[in-house]
C-alpha cells in the first residue's frame, strides 16, 4: 500500500454523509451548476490538513497525480495542500517541476476552494519576480478555474507589496460572465487596499461604474460607510 492509499483510507474513515450533503449543496454540484458532478466525503478542511500532514513525507508526485484524479473532492484538496507544502520545501528545479505539474492538472483544480488553497502558494509564488505574462494568459482562458487561478495567484504578489498585476487583471476581467470571478476580483482588490488604500481609491475612481456589483462590494468592505455609499452610487 502506498501513501496515497493510506491517505484515502483515512479520509474515508472520517467520511460523514450528512456533511457531504451540505458540502454538495454549498459547492453547487447539481446539474448545470459550476461544480456539477463533484463528489464529497464530508471531511472538513482541518481534517484533510491533519490527514495530509501524517503522510506528506511519504507522498510522491505520482501519489499526488492519483489523488488529483480521484472523484472525492477531499482527495484533491489533500493533493493541493501537499503540493503547496512541497513547493515551499523544493529547490529551484523542484519548484519548476511543481509549477508545471500544477498547470498541467488545472482540469482537476475544479472548484473555487481548490483554487484558493493553492494558486497563490504555487502560481503566485513561482511567478513573483518573474515575467507574470502567464497570469494574463490564464485570465484569457475559457476555463473558469484557470481565470480564477490568475486572479487569486496575485494574493502572493499583494503580500509582497506588488499590486500592478492585481489591478490590471481586475480591470481586464471586469466583464467576465461568472460571479466567481467577480468575487475573486473583489477579494483581491480588498486585499490590495489593505496594502495601499490610496491606490485602491484611484482604481475605484476610474472603474467603479463598470465593475460588477459583487466585485465592488467586496472591494469596498474596509472603507468607511460614506465612501462605500459614494462608490456604489457611481455604479
For residue 131, give every residue at least 6 positions away whose Cβ sits within 8 Å of its Cβ, in sequence order, or none: none
Q: What is the pLDDT of residues 92-104, one digit of tens each?
A: 999 999 999 999 9
The answer as to whether 112 is a domain residue is: no
The confidence score (pLDDT) of residue 235 equals 76
Beta partners for residue 198, in sequence order = none
Same domain, 43 and 101: yes
Of 74, 107, 140, the one marking the end of a domain is 107
DSSP string, 84-111: HHHHHHS-HHHHHHHHHHHHHTGGG--S
Q: What is the pLDDT of residues 30-63, one digit of tens each?
A: 999 999 999 999 999 999 999 999 999 999 999 9
Is residue 34 within 8 Å of residue 111, measured between CB atoms? yes
Cell of 217: 462590494
The answer as to whether 166 is a domain residue is: yes
The confidence score (pLDDT) of residue 96 equals 98
Same domain, 157 and 215: yes
For residue 101, give every residue at least 6 positions away whose Cβ sits within 8 Å of its Cβ, in sequence order, or none: 61, 64, 83
Same domain, 176 and 211: yes
The answer as to whether 207 is a domain residue is: yes
d(CA 185, CA 67) in angstroms, rounded, equals 29
Beta partners for residue 63, in sequence order = none
The confidence score (pLDDT) of residue 1 equals 60
Beta partners for residue 72, in sequence order = 39
Question: What's the total number of domains in the chain?
Answer: 2
Question: Domain of 125: which CATH number?
Answer: 1.25.40.290
Of 80, 107, 134, the one marking the end of a domain is 107
Of 42, 72, 107, the one marking the end of a domain is 107
Cell of 141: 482562458
Structural domain containing residue 198:
118-235
For residue 229, give every residue at least 6 positions away whose Cβ sits within 8 Å of its Cβ, in sequence order, or none: none
Checking if the pLDDT of 122 tops 90, the result is yes
**Quick one: average pLDDT of 54-78?**
97
Q: What is the pLDDT of residues 149-178, one digit of tens each?
A: 999 999 999 999 999 999 999 999 999 999
Q: What is the mean pLDDT of the chain?
A: 97
The confidence score (pLDDT) of residue 234 equals 85
The confidence score (pLDDT) of residue 161 equals 96
**Quick one: average pLDDT of 116-126?**
98
Same domain, 123 and 232: yes
The answer as to whether 113 is a domain residue is: no
Same domain, 57 and 125: no
Amino acid at each position: 500500500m502506498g501513501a496515497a492509499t493510506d491517505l484515502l483510507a483515512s479520509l474515508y474513515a472520517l467520511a460523514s454523509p450528512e456533511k457531504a450533503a451540505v458540502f454538495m449543496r454549498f459547492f453547487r454540484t447539481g446539474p448545470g451548476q459550476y461544480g456539477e458532478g463533484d463528489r464529497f466525503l464530508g471531511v472538513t478542511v482541518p481534517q484533510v490538513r491533519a490527514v495530509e500532514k501524517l503522510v506528506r513525507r511519504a507522498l510522491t508526485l505520482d501519489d499526488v497525480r492519483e489523488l488529483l484524479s480521484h472523484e472525492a473532492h477531499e482527495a484533491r484538496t489533500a493533493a493541493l495542500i501537499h503540493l503547496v507544502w512541497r513547493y515551499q520545501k523544493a529547490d529551484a528545479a523542484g519548484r519548476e517541476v511543481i509549477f508545471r505539474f500544477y498547470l498541467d492538472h488545472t482540469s482537476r483544480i475544479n472548484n473555487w476552494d481548490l483554487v484558493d488553497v493553492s494558486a497563490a502558494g504555487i502560481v503566485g509564488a513561482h511567478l513573483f519576480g518573474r515575467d507574470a505574462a502567464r497570469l494574463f494568459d490564464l485570465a484569457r482562458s475559457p476555463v473558469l478555474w484557470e481565470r480564477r487561478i490568475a486572479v487569486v495567484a496575485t494574493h502572493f504578489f499583494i503580500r509582497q507589496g506588488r499590486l500592478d498585476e492585481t489591478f490590471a487583471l481586475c480591470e481586464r476581467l471586469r466583464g467576465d460572465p461568472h460571479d466567481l470571478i467577480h468575487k475573486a476580483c473583489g477579494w483581491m482588490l480588498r486585499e490590495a487596499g489593505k496594502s495601499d488604500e490610496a491606490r485602491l481609491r484611484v482604481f475605484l475612481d476610474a472603474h467603479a461604474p463598470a465593475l460588477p456589483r459583487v466585485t465592488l462590494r467586496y472591494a469596498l468592505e474596509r472603507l468607511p460607510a460614506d465612501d462605500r455609499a459614494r462608490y456604489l452610487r457611481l455604479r
